Structure 1
């Protein structure tokens, strides 16, 4: 961003100095700039659309490839190699088509910008010669004005790579920050202390979202969540999570023993507290066994 702003500042400074030296040359520059900006804006808009499409297909291909590699044994077991290759090739073919369109737009857009620039320089030099011939300005001032515009134009061309980076960032940001479908609307729930409650519903209806809201993995856009009439937004985040216990749909274990994993919930717990927690979970006979052997343990009679 700093380099981008510096390039534009250099360009406008050059035009300002050129106006002081020879206003006719500077005025012609200001008349040409809008045409260049229109071409540049159209080019940028087209490139934004293409970049967004490329990011979408690339994301699909990467996701499909990751799933295939992760579940490679399942793919082999069901002889799904051809299907996986076909799906990946389909994503790549779409990527190639978009890249061809991108190359065409880049070629046409860059060519138009260069053509307008060359014509502009020819016109500026011609106007400068006319001004000198009419003795409205001396050759030194006209040359100074042209040189200021030249260096300003060179600086503005250095901003082109920055524009490409901005396009890619906007395309990536669109995927991250685009409006999502609202899951919970008009949702209200009150749970008395000590009461057991079950949230039941179809996949995607918001059951996990409720847990994520309570644990403040994200905050609600409207409304509030109260614990003992205290808004959880006003609570210390570490204190809130330390006093909550949650088991995800796909629980994961860290490397080490079961005992080490139980201690993650309370690093200050002593041996007796860990054993009591294991007994409550019916895992007290397992917590000394390394995780690498848990599959053998589960399969043993």
Structure 2
């Protein structure tokens, strides 16, 4: 099964590029940019990656982002992630970035997006890995800050496929950003949103109704509402689920308790993703391995996660068909 997973073509739909900042690169960039970080060694950073909840993770995540200053830093960060994609046979990735994490520190929007985009272009040419970019609004900041970020994104419509919503879910319901998302849709962006991770199932309904989202990021608390689960399955509304992240942030006690497999078997379009892999203990293959180690999954079910991700992606329809064929023929040969 491990061998099958390793070589299975995969698509990742829930990855925060700032969350792929490995401790070694953090140290390298801190040194290069003469930034003080509250750790002495990469090992010390890893030891700090024990979280009680989403907020305790976010506190250290924002500190880590302080080392990202120049276009080259964002390039190096993104290129390192794309090399991991190559290693894990991820053939397409839809990547979140948080402009406000950087613009609030005085880093220009174009510095961030140009560094990331150049690495993605290089990966497309040299590694044959396609990608798309999604800007996320930080939900703990106000609506005005989100509108300002949307304004900054408008000259880069050719580089950005969608807008999303991340950061602290508690106390920041989807309705807070309904007007921003309406404007983003008017400007031609697709929409996604984190919902139903720490927040209740109602946040998923609200993200779908108020933000008109194409898919829901996380969404594991949908099971609190059987009617919602039925609706997700009937309408094939995708959930971009992040198994290792959910364990690390105590959404579930352990992987055996995780509901992604039962949701898959209920016909929900669930997908496997790595979220913030440097902080949560693994990239795509690690998430698949962790599920296969704790759940009795068939190869067809493992492959279905990939097919779901292709269907849920923002790839052109013809390219989707090609990728689905590749996954099906790979599975048939195993």
Structure number with greater CO (CA < 8 Å, separation at least 6) is 1
Alignment TM-score, normalising by the size of structure 1? 0.21
Structure with the higher helix share, 1 or 2: 1
Alignment TM-score, normalising by the size of structure 2? 0.19
